[in-house]
Amino acid sequence: MDFAGAYSADNLKFLLDGLYVTLIVAFTAIILSFLLGCIIGVVRYAKVPVLSQISFVFVELIRNLPLLLIIFFMRFALPEVGIKLGLMTAAIAALTIFEGAMISEIVRGGLTSVDKGQIEAGRSSGLTGVQTLWHIVLPQGLRRMVPPLVSQFISLLKDTSLAVIISLAELMHNAGIIIGHGYNYTIPTLLLVALIYFTVNYLLSVLSKRLETKNA
């Protein structure tokens, strides 16, 4: 094992470049998938005619497909119908669609968990269905969603490593290139990558616990 060689300045910079791409992809997908998940979750919770049924089919379809297949589809299948996405865009799109379906179930579950008595009280006080959802259901539901949402975001960040299959220059891709430069770089490089993933995800977990405590 050559720790000194594996941790040379050039290699460390190369890994940090990969980490930067990983974080850009992850946090962009987190924002987009959260928005998509909220929209689908609210539509299904409110049982909007037609849209609710379409959302149900979408969620069930995506949840039962492997993420790797969706990444392949975005990168290699869409160009067959004239839609060409760059490496990063394809990865973000795949993660957004996959995680959005997962998050929609968290959102729907959070909204459903709100006591119906409070909803009835809101309606009896003169609030419309939309106003009740906005002022009573959403604030309480969102507080209950924080732990599972952060857990899902952690999974999303780890899932960015699957983009290595389309040669996106993220953390695992760059680690693989470093390992290819010398067989004795394998263990040192993978240990460092594991530490990087652990640190980022641990910080997200700590943030989740603080938010949970604050909202308790």
Name the percent of the chain lying above pLDDT 90: 65
d(CA 172, CA 20) in angstroms, rounded, equals 12
Q: Which domains does the chain have, with CATH numbers?
A: 3-215 (1.10.3720.10)
Residue 160 to residue 164: CA distance in whole angstroms: 8
Residue 212 has pLDDT above 70, yes or no: no
Q: What pLDDT, on a 0 to 100 scale, did the predictor assign at position 177?
A: 93
**The pLDDT value given to residue 127:** 72
In degrees and rounded to multiples of 5, residue 168 shows phi and psi of -70, 135
Contact assessment for residue 131 and residue 121, using Cβ atoms and an 8 Å cutoff: no
Residue 214 is predicted with a pLDDT of 66
pTM: 0.89
Give the model confidence (pLDDT) of 106-161 as tens digits.
999 988 888 777 777 777 777 777 777 777 788 888 888 888 888 899 999 999 99
> Could you read off the pLDDT of 60-97 as tens digits, one per residue?
999 999 999 999 999 999 999 999 999 999 999 999 99
Residue 174 — very low, low, confident or very high, per pLDDT cuts 50/70/90?
very high
Q: Examine the pLDDT at 190 and tell me if it is beyond 70.
A: yes
* Mean of per-residue pLDDT scores for the chain: 89
